[in-house]
Structure 1
């Protein structure tokens, strides 16, 4: 048990029930109920997926909104975050599953065009560094839509522009990136993702994530073929030397992120791939906050095997452990054992299911349950 000091709450959202900001609010309430007057600092975090812009805004960035093209081609209002020349762009804001009507999936035709429009808006607003958080996408178009919005051209055998989506990529004949907005040359793009899949193949964007977006077995095959065609045509367009780099980029970690938008960012925007949580911790100023803390509380909705592979709590715990700060976690449910937790640098975890075993009630009553969990945590660790 640590002496009562300053607590840093750096937790991700509880998907489907609480935003990262709400998680911090409820944990704070529970801690202070148990320890009145406790110093608590909240720094909501994200790993590049949905909720990334909200975390940046909570960390002091300005929220900007822009009207762009949604994944089905209809207009949507997307937000990005901006501070001191750095923009945080969350592709799910423009091109995510959250932008589809209930019950509607479009695995072959959903486009990332709107994400390119958000990038343009950020650059026009003065961004010179863009953190592109990817995750929660409705798309498998290899980022072709995004590049098209930025000035690229993708043509079929007749010289006509391809229709939107990953399905038509099988008909791609020529690609031209020479017309990309020249301002991109002066912008540093960081691809922030917790996904390290390649573009194509059995571990690629279509095979692994296509079914989550409504793709049938035949759709997956068509999408994978389209992504392979995109990589081939872009390699040909780049010439023999640069073409080898394009081919290598298709198999690089992160190329398959968000339906292949990672590949487009790497090849078309010269992006550097970094684990999403590492990028966001840097952008949000986690290190100074960590230096002020005696105990760190992290967490997310489901603390499971995936958490250990680049999700927000693992990134927070790794940074805290390097600084010699103890870490505990809160979560909706817990499916990994104590040894795995300790291996990740987390001393203990407090799931809501320990108080309410019914998952549906846990989701519905997440806020009050989280406050009770925080009281227990305070009794154990403060």
Structure 2
């Protein structure tokens, strides 16, 4: 009996932060798979998660264009940012990523205090997209260096945030403690005819014990005292938004309100923006032209990846989202990671059948980052060889009287592709 091999493999990874973009990760994995299965069809689907590179990735997959704009950065120093006008697959749609104008990479380490950084540049990008005639603007959240509740973005778009004496407040999250009234009468006129969609992580909340200041403030440089001051200021900002703004939902603890330092709540309250799960928004064929679910359904195996797999992965990270969608089609999923942290085995519960680190021996982080592409390719080869050994064992067990054991987390689809010895020919991959 010959061993059935996967005919189509979908490679759908996230990027490795501060190392490799999602597109490079996908190509590296594909190279490793080709070493073992040179005749398999490989479909490359690097996943945009709203953070750095989202606009460029979606512009590339839809045949769109990137446009440059000099904007006010998070520490009030000009930065060169980009936004995307999507192509024919999503006409009339623009993509703005918070990280491009207000990302943590734009905040020097000695200036990292999320209570003083601003999203003003994000509002400038939205304004440019509006001026271009975009009817829908998707704001991707992730990798921000701010925690101003989106106040800066609103100010850039013409909103006035006033204190009790009627004076405009300054920039940054701490200033929100002084906010007493929100005046939206001077908003950009094109906002009345445009739809703003915020693509964020549903687990990110503006206020409360798990509010954005407490969860992400320390990561962005805040001390414990600064975290509490910022949390109190955001509580006050939420009250102003709910009273004077345009949102019809809970802006304190509603899903995605804390996205990118609270820009979700700010744009929902100030502009009436629609808050959507980042993957539902970014992978929505009607919104961005993506067709990921169809591509998953056609695959025999899905390989995903992320810089770190740990207890946070099941809560809105790329590998978990890929596994959730693949499970609906009975397609097995395996995942590679730069590191496996505490709680990594929890991902089996969301449908990832096997996980592996790309680092085969102890090495310095700097060395792993510098050599990540090669490490990924080698790890993809090792994982595929292990999967083939598992398949051979399954065939052998099927010949005997024993009953094969179905592994936890693996799909049940029967591979219909070539068999060992017959997998030859040209590998066809594509970037979407």
TM norm structure 1: 0.91
Matched, 1:66 2:82: no
CA–CA separation in structure 1 for the residues paired with 2:205 and 2:196: 19
Task: Quote the Cα distance in structure 2 between the aligned partners of 1:11 and 1:127.
Answer: 29
Query: What does residue 357 of structure 1 align with?
Result: 362
Residue 223 of structure 1 and its aligned partner are, at CA, apart by 1.4
Question: Are residues 278 and 235 of structure 1, via their aligned partners in 2, closer, same or farther at CA, if it must alter by over 3 Å?
Answer: closer
Choose which of 353, 356, 363 in structure 2 pairs with 1:347. Answer: 353
- Shift of residue 359, structure 1, vs aligned partner: 4.9
Q: Is the 8 A contact 2:205 2:252 kept in 1?
A: yes
Q: 1:338: Cα distance to partner?
A: 8.2
Query: What secondary structure does 2:110 align onto?
Result: coil
**1:47-70 deviation per Cα after TM superposition (whole angstroms, max 9, x unaligned):** 222332243234234222221110
Query: What's the counterpart of residue 373 of structure 2?
Result: 367
Partner of residue 425, structure 2: none
Q: Deviations over 1:57-99 (max 9, x none)?
A: 3423422222111011121111122211122211011011111
Q: Which has the higher helix share?
A: 1
- 5+ unaligned residues in a row in structure 1: which ranges? none
Matched residue count: 376
Answering whether residue 240 of structure 2 is matched by residue 237 of structure 1, we say no
Aligned-residue RMSD, C-alpha: 2.2
Tell me which residue corresponds to 1:162: 169
Distance 1:339 1:95 in 2: 34
Q: 1:92-111 CA distances to partner (integer Å, 9 max, x unpaired)?
A: 11011111134321322211
Deviation at 1:337, TM superposition (A): 6.9
Q: Deviation at 1:300?
A: 0.3
Q: Aligned pair 1:123/2:130, yes or no?
A: yes
| Structure 1 segments (4+ residues) deviating >6 Å | none
Spell out the pairing of 1:32-51 with structure 2 (5 A cutoff).
Answer: 32-51=34-53
Local SS of the residue matching 2:58 = helix
Larger Rg: 2
Between 99-108 and 313-322, the greater mean CA deviation after superposition? 99-108
**Structure 1 range deviating more: 335-344 or 60-69:** 335-344
Query: Which stretches in structure 2 are left out of the alignment for 5+ residues?
Result: 389-432
Equivalent in 160, 167, 191 of residue 184 of structure 1 = 191
Q: Shift of the alpha carbon at 1:380? A: 3.4
The alpha-carbon deviation at position 220 of structure 1 amounts to: 1.7
> 1:136: Cα distance to partner?
1.7
Distance 1:46 1:359, change over 3 A: farther
Corresponding residue SS for 1:141? coil
Aligned residue for 1:80, secondary structure, equals: strand
Equivalent residue in structure 1 for 2:85, among 82, 86, 92: 82
Assess, with a 3 A threshold, how the Cα gap between structure 1 residues 218 and 18 changes in structure 2: closer, same or farther. Answer: same
Cross-structure match for 1:103: 110
Any conservation in 2 of the 1:48–1:192 contact (CA below 8 Å)?
yes
